[in-house]
Amino acid sequence: MKKRSATEDTDPRILDRLRYHMGVLKAAGVVDVAYQRDGRQVTSYRLGATGEELFSELFVNPLGRSSSRRASVLQRVAARQH
């Protein structure tokens, strides 16, 4: 009996969107992605240095941060990417 993969019953459009967005996050340095030797299947991903900084600035104490503070953090990180 063939073992079913975790994504076999998932709508292919959702998987395409997920792949696209993971690629965008990888290109921006927000996530680090590890691939298997065969093909391009993702085996693991984690926050990269930029992702860690964004996470700590945006989510550690959400009640103490204003939306303008969050916007300035995002602008700072975006400016470093260019």
Task: List the domain boundaries for the chain.
Answer: 12-81
Q: What percent of the chain has pLDDT over 70?
A: 65
Please indicate, yes or no, whether the overall pTM of this predicted structure exceeds 0.75.
no
- Whether the CB-CB separation of 36 and 29 falls below 8 Å is answered with no
| pLDDT tens-place string over residues 15-37 | 889 889 988 998 888 899 887 66
